[in-house]
Amino acid sequence: MSGTGDFAAKVTGWIEQAGEIAMGWLLSPAAWSQFGLLAVAVIVARLATARLLPAATRFLDPASKIGHIASLRRFALRLLPLLLPLFAYGLTAVGEEVTRAAFGSGDVIAFGKRVFIFLAARAFVREVLTDSFLRPLGRYVLLPVAGLYVLGLLDDITLRLEETIIALGNIRFSVLALIRGVIAGSVLFWLGSWSNRQSASYIKAQEELRPATRELAVKAVEVMIFGAAFLLLLSIMGIDLTAVAVLGGALGVGIGLGLQQIAANFVSGIILLVEGQTTVGDYVELDGGEKGTIVKMTARACVLETFDGKWIVVPNDHFITTRVVNYSDQGSANRYDVPFSVSYDTDINRVPEIIETAVAALPFVLKQPDGPDCELRGFGESSVDFAVEYWVSGIDDGKNKYASQVNFAIWNALKAAGIEMPYPHRVVELKGGAVA
């Protein structure tokens, strides 16, 4: 309670002091002259801004809407509302030096100079900050700080917050350090997020790099940006970085005891990105039966999309420790075969030519690396068994239905040639005479 009373007494003292200063300014002819200089500075700043603003707008308005230079010029256009208060601040600073040199006093001009700083901060928040995160930060942090600076209370408030200590066990820190950490952390991680988005967009636009290389570069830049932001935040908050070493040792023990699988998946993800043997867009099948197109590769797992739209999340270490069948290495051709049978009454020497001609006529069947190949596979109980092999540029994953169209072509070709596709026959012999 005594602390609260002291602070209330201090506030009362500030108010009384402000009243005394105001009365001294109203009764002092020297203060009136400084008010006159402030008015002259405002008028000159307005006239200069009125002449410079149209020319600056024409100069900064980009003719092209594309490119980094155009983006910088558009950002500079948003800074033009700061021209008036900053120009007035500069003129007032010059007037303060002249006044102090001539009369030994310049408190009124110094106060006006701080007011212009507040007006510049207000224009910055209103006109320049458009981000949904930064604008509230400017409104509720920058403007109050600028207001305290105008009133000359910023140093006293800062000292009070610095002296107020919060204790959590053996950990002690001031309220000012906590506030500074929250504000700095918010700004740093917003800046890190923005930088990460910009760098990721730039890296992904480099089409000469392999997709796996691009993904690895994006992850590496992300780790570097947020790692640097974290270390910088610790430095701003005044935390000894030796504590980070202790934390890293504890984290290493935790990984060794309970996070082995997560660490294995993370390292496996890096290996997959570096080797590039399996990457986004490949159609793969794992030993466990999972198969689909890789649509995303993260630090922990790969996401497979099946032909019916389902997503399967497969841990990265499965791609390292088990057998993986990759059907599509950046769109390479794949071979399939379709089995069929004909009757024993068929002249089987005609079958290969009929089937190969019919399958070769299908638009998706390739002639390279090899055309359709009809092979005799064996002699069954009721039929002669054949199979036709063919190459296609893609995966028969259910969406393309290559096998279905090949089966239709085989059926139609055999029917047109008068060749029968048999069904099983059974001969039943009854012994012991007629059945009653």
Looking at residue 90, what is its pLDDT? 82
Looking at residue 430, what is its pLDDT? 76
Looking at residue 92, what is its pLDDT? 80
Which CATH number is associated with domain 334-416?
Answer: 3.30.70.100
> Contact, 39 vs 45, CB < 8 A?
no
In order of 231, 239, 240, 247, 250, the CA distances from 243 in angstroms are 11, 8, 6, 6, 11
Looking at residue 294, what is its pLDDT? 85
Computed on alpha carbons and rounded to an integer, the radius of gyration of the chain in Å comes to 40
Tokens 């059926």 belong to which residue? 411
In order of 121, 185, 245, the CA distances from 189 in angstroms are 22, 6, 22
In order of 102, 137, 159, 317, 338, the CA distances from 220 in angstroms are 60, 29, 41, 19, 46
Tokens 């200089």 belong to which residue? 37
> Tens-of-pLDDT digits for all 436 residues of the chain?
445 555 556 556 555 555 555 555 554 555 666 777 777 778 888 888 888 878 777 777 766 666 667 777 777 777 778 888 888 888 887 777 777 766 666 667 777 788 888 888 888 888 888 777 778 888 888 888 888 887 777 777 888 877 777 776 666 677 777 788 788 888 888 887 888 787 877 777 777 766 666 776 777 777 788 778 777 777 776 666 665 566 666 666 665 655 677 777 777 877 777 776 777 778 888 887 788 888 888 777 888 888 777 888 888 888 888 888 887 655 567 888 999 999 988 899 999 999 999 999 999 898 888 889 999 999 988 889 999 999 988 777 666 678 889 999 999 999 999 988 887 767 777 776 555 5
If one counts every other C-beta atom within 10 angstroms of the C-beta of residue 158, the result is: 15
Cα–Cα nearest to 323, from 293, 353, 278: 278
Looking at residue 361, what is its pLDDT? 92
Distance CA 4, CA 35 (A): 37
Cα–Cα nearest to 119, from 93, 96, 142: 142
Looking at residue 106, what is its pLDDT? 65
Backbone angles phi, psi at 366, to 5 degrees: -90, 155
Strand ordering across the sheet containing 324-326: 311-315, 301-305, 291-297, 283-286, 324-326
Strand ordering across the sheet containing 384-392: 334-342, 384-392, 373-379
